């Protein structure tokens, strides 16, 4: 299940809803919460920062492995090259006033999902997130 959204300006909710309505999604509320939070953070980052004015495309989709135990979420765009995994994790022990701005979203993705990977290929940012369901 893969779909291209173009342009992505003002389409965060539509993209997130598309991913979360996939038949590949688990029925477990705890897993759904973690997946939804991760999807929301990843999609918002692309919509807000990948293209000037949001006037680009994003492909999003899900896939369940043949055993039905691992959900893969793919988010792909041709925006400014950016590897969110290179960003240093925020100091969550510091108070909100002392913390540097940014980085909390991808940190949450890494905490909520079992695997998060990034690659830049053929002019595209490709973020892959996996959640083990069993």
Do the Cβ atoms of 2 and 76 come closer than 8 Å? no
Report the C-alpha gap between 133 and 71 in whole angstroms. 7
SS3 76: strand
- Host domain of residue 41: 2-132
Evaluated on CA atoms 125, 33, 1, 57, the torsion sign reads negative
* DSSP structure class, residue 4: E
Spatial distance between the Cα atoms of 109 and 41, rounded to a whole number of angstroms: 7
Q: What is the model's pTM?
A: 0.88
- The reported pLDDT for the residue numbered 134 is 84
How do residues 111-126 score in pLDDT, each as one tens digit? 999 999 999 999 999 9
3-state secondary structure of 70: strand
Q: In the chain, how many domains are there?
A: 1
Tell me: pLDDT of 98 over 70: no
Buried b (16+ CB within 10 A) or exposed e, 45-84: bbbeebbeebebbbbbbbebeeeeebbebbbbbebeebeb
Each residue of 17-68: pLDDT tens digit? 999 999 999 999 999 999 999 999 999 999 999 998 878 999 999 999 999 9
Which CATH number fits the domain that encloses residue 74?
3.30.565.10
- In the predicted model, is pLDDT for residue 102 greater than 70? no
- Say how far apart CA 131 and CA 78 lie, in whole Å: 25
């Amino acid at each position: 299940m893969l779909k291209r959204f173009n342009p992505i300006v003002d389409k965060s909710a539509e993209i997130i809803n598309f991913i979360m309505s996939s038949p590949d999604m688990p029925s477990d509320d705890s897993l759904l919460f973690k997946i939804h939070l991760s999807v929301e953070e990843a999609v918002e980052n692309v919509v807000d920062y990948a293209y000037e004015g949001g006037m680009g495309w994003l492909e999003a989709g899900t896939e369940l492995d043949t055993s039905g135990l691992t959900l893969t979420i793919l988010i792909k765009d041709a925006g400014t090259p950016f590897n969110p995994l290179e960003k240093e994790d925020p100091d969550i022990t510091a108070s909100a006033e002392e913390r540097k701005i940014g980085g909390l979203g991808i940190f949450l993705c890494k905490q909520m999902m079992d695997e998060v990977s990034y690659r830049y290929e053929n002019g595209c940012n490709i973020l892959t997130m996996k959640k083990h369901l069993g």
